Amino acid sequence: DRFEDAKKALRGSKFEVVVEEKEDNALSMTDPWGSQFRIVVGDDAELDSRGTQAGVCSSSGALGMRDLTLYCNADANIPGIARFYNQWMDCPILSSDEQSCSVSMGPRQTLSFVKHPTRTDIKHEDMRDDQVEPPEGMPAFLSNYGPHVSIYVTNLEKTYDACRDLAYVNPRFKRRAYTKQQALEQCMFRVLDIIDPDDPAAGPILKLEHEIRSVVNVDGSK
């Protein structure tokens, strides 16, 4: 039983683990850096072979992430974040108000943002100058050592056109899409800034690196 194995593996570690009393088979966990996790027993409906990659075990046995919730600054424009994903990435808005929002990332997965009650110094990026020279005629970018999320879209060209002014290249990684053509050839591109489509002049609401991938290869195959 993987759930029992997880409890045993975490016992005595630097992770703070609490077995929830109100629900069977649920663990609340905090890692040494303060990130909070809730581990629950999945079901067969969550098994999705689309998450597998060549050279890796065939399936995760329904091991996955139902939701990722990130804190935003107390003064963040939460509805603007929801509009960013909905208008520019075609992600359905499941809920949105002044305090939090949740958008659909797939049939069984959500990405959520919540205002921190007090903090206004929250950062999800860690920018460093690795002195990487870009190709001739292309802009130079700082490397991001903060977390990034991978998102699959059904129409990469449409998404790139919507996010063209936000396109970002992380010199840490070998695949670097400086242009739309390179993005289509590589079936991916990156953005760092989350902008309100209704008020782009206000600038980034927050920075979170996205690796935006196509659900199909360049030849249309899956």
Residue-wise pLDDT for 38-67, tens only, equals: 888 777 777 666 656 666 655 545 467 889
Instruction: Give the C-alpha separation, 160 to 31, whole Å.
Output: 35
Helix (H, G, I), strand (E, B) or coil at 104: strand
Whose CA is closest to 128, among 116, 139, 146, 143?
A: 143
Contacts by 172-176 with C-beta closer than 8 Å and gap 24+? 172/130, 172/143, 172/144, 172/145
pTM for the full model? 0.84
- How far does CA 97 lie from the centroid of its chain? 20
Its sign, for the CA torsion 121, 166, 155, 171, is negative
Alpha carbon distance 170, 191 (integer Å): 9
Residue linked to tokens 């003064």: 75
Asked whether the predicted pLDDT for residue 93 surpasses 90, the reply is: yes
Amino acid at 38: R
**What is the per-residue pLDDT across 131-182, written as a single tens digit (0 to 9) for each?**
999 999 999 999 999 999 999 999 999 999 999 999 999 999 999 999 999 9
Residues composing the chain: 222
What CA–CA distance (Å, rounded) separates 203 from 160? 19
How far is CA 79 from each of CA 30, 88, 202, rounded to the nearest angstrom?
A: 28, 14, 14
Distances 202 to 141, 197, 198 between C-alpha atoms, Å: 22, 10, 9
